[in-house]
């Protein structure tokens, strides 16, 4: 990682659905699907899905803050999830599919807290925002077949995104 780049880490349910929305930004240098937040070292997909590792599916984004702000990444994150759901995301249920913002430094923590407060006050949701903001922990890249899944298996990904309820939720709440 170059000196001028930063990391942003977001858990938004299925990591397949969290990669594409961030690719639109010129300043995003890489997006890695993986696991974080738990205690098991080098977990596998099967271990994480067992909900016994403490990990969630997440994406880690390397970005150039001179080209894309952390706030822009936060705004994109919020529009990909149901931040009021404590039990997972859409059809994906369980601890490994919970949402979270993992901050890497104090400015990210403050920016994330401010954005959550604004969303809770001004956003379209009737229920309170449940997405926690917590310190970043070790991030473990997922298996290769999970990386860029939306490109490698485009048809299956599009059907999954629609069938899971995520696509309809985003359109209903954000019109995108």
Tell me the catalytic residues. Answer: 14
Using CA atoms, how far apart are residues 131 and 108, in angstroms rounded to an integer?
A: 15
Tokens of 76: 């994109």
């Amino acid at each position: 990682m170059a000196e001028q780049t930063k990391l942003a880490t977001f858990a938004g349910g299925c990591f397949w659905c969290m990669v594409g929305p961030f690719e639109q930004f010129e300043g995003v240098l890489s997006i890695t699907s993986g696991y974080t937040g738990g205690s098991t070292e080098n977990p596998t997909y099967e271990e994480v899905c067992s909900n016994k590792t403490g990990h969630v599916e997440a994406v880690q984004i390397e970005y150039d803050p001179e080209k894309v702000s952390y706030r822009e990444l936060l705004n994109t994150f919020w529009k990909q999830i149901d931040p009021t759901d404590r039990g997972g995301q859409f059809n994906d249920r369980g601890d490994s599919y919970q949402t979270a913002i993992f901050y890497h430094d104090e400015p990210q923590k403050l920016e994330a807290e401010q954005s959550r407060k604004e969303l809770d006050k001004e956003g379209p949701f009737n229920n309170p925002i449940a997405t926690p903001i917590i310190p970043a922990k070790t991030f473990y890249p997922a298996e290769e077949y999970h990386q860029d899944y939306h490109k490698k298996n485009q048809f299956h990904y599009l059907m999954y995104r629609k069938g899971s309820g995520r696509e309809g939720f985003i359109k209903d709440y954000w019109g995108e």
